[in-house]
Structure 1
Amino acid sequence: MAESNQKIALFIDADNAPARKIEKILSEMAKYGVVSIRRAYGNWKSHTVKGWEEQLHEYAIQPIQQFDLTKGKNATDMAMTIDAMDTLYTKKMDAFCIVSSDSDFTPLIMRLLSEGKVVYGFGERKAPAPFVNACSRFLYLDEPEADPEKVPENSKKSGHELKADTKLMNLIRNAIDTEQDDDGWAYLGRIGAVISNQASFDPRNYGYKKLGDLIRAVDLFETQIMDNNQMSVRDKRRGNHIQNGGH
C-alpha cells in the first residue's frame, strides 16, 4: 500500500483538466503525503484556462506559461514532461501526480516508474487508456461524488456489469491466487496491495467507495471477517473445489 508520508510533485495540464476538481485532487493526495511542488501549465492568455486562475493563489499553485507556438500542437505536454524529468533528477520526490484528460503522458510515467517513483493520475473519462493504465493509481474526475444525494442510481456498476468486465475479474482473481492460504482465503488488504502494484485500479471509478464493497457486489467471490476483524476473500470456484474434496 502507498505510504502516507510521501513527498509529491504535482503537474497539471490546465488546458485539459477541470479546475473545479482541484480540491478533490489535493484531498486525495493528502492521504499519501505532502504536495510540495505544485505547477499548472497552460496558455494563461487563453480563455480555456480562466477557471484555473482563481485557484492558483488559494491552493499555492505556480502557473507556468506556455504559448501555443504551433497551431493544433500544444506545447504544454512537452513543458510538463521536461519539468517532471528535471524534478526527478534534482529533487528528492517519492511520487508524482499528473493531471490531464486529453494528453498521453505514458512515456513520462513509464520513465518515472522505472526510477521507482509512484505515479498518481487524474483526468476525465476521455483520458487516453495507455495513460490511465500506466499510472500506479488513476482516479476519474468526472465520476459522481460518493454522496448518495448526489449520485444518480445508474452511476454504480451493477454486480452483473462488474462480472462482465473480464479484465477486472481477472485482476481480482489473480490477486487472490497470489495471496491465498491453503483454504483459498486471502486478506482484502493484501489483495488491494497486489492489484495496486499491477494496475491503476480504484474502486471509486466503478461507483464503490471501497474494494470490499465492489467484491461483495459480485457473486463470484465469498467473503468472511477473520478473528482480527480483517476481511478475507475467496474465489467461489476454489471454495467449491475444496468442498468437493479437491486439493
Structure 2
Amino acid sequence: MKLNADLGESYGHWQINADKDIMPFIDMANIACGGHAGDPKVMHQTVALAKSHGVSIGAHPSYPDIQGFGRRSMSIPAEELCHIIQAQIAALDGLARCQGETLSYVKPHGALYNDMMSNKAVRLAVYNAIRTYYISLPLVVQATNQNDKLRIEAEEYGVNLLFEAFADRLYLDSGFLSPRSTPGAVLDGAQSVEQARRLIEKGEVITDSGKVLSISADTICVHGDTPEAINNVARIREILLGQND
C-alpha cells in the first residue's frame, strides 16, 4: 500500500513548511496546482523536492477558491469545470517537465473531491477532464463499498482509478468522511496512526458510531496541513515497512 500526502499548499506569503519533513516518508505527493494553493514558485520547489526523494508526482486540482482553500463547493458548468481542472493539471505538468519529471496521477482536492464522490454530474465532469487530457493519468478517488461500481463507471470513460483511504479523518457508517465542520472530524495523532494501522493490517476502520467498516484501498492519505502530520507520516511509514519485512 502506498502512502500519499497533500503538499505544495503554500501560496505567496502564506507558507506551510512541513513539506521537506514529510516528503522522505511518502510514495506519492499530491501537489497543489493553483486552484486552492500552490503558486508557480511553490509548485516548482515541490516538484524538485519530490524528484530528489523519488516520490511520484500527482496533480491536486480544486475549485478556483484560494480564499476558501478549495473547501467550498461551487456550482460550475461541466464544460467550464473540465477546463478549470485541465488548466491546473497542465500548469503542474509543464513545471514538472521543465525538471525532466512527469505526472503519475490526478487527485482532486477538498470540496471538488467530496462533490466528485457524492454528485455524479461533478464526477462525470472530472472523468471528462481526465479522459480528454493529452496523456492518460489515473484518478484517485475515495475507497468505499462502491469501488466496483465506480471502477466500471470510470472504465466507460477510459479512466483508471486508484482508491484511497484516510488516516486522519473520521469515517461515517456510509463510508464517507465526517464533514470538517463536525467536532472530531479530523483525528489527532494517536487516532490517525491507529486508523492507519487498521487500514494496513486489517483493511478496516472504526466509524463514528463504532461500526467496523471494511475498506479496500491502494493508498493511504495523510494531510500535510495537520499539526501532527510529520510525526503521523513517520509512524505510518514504520508500520508499512513492518508489513514488508
Q: TM-score, normalised by structure 2?
A: 0.32
For the pair shown, the structure with the greater C-alpha radius of gyration is 1
* Bigger RCO (CA 8 Å, 6+ sep): 2
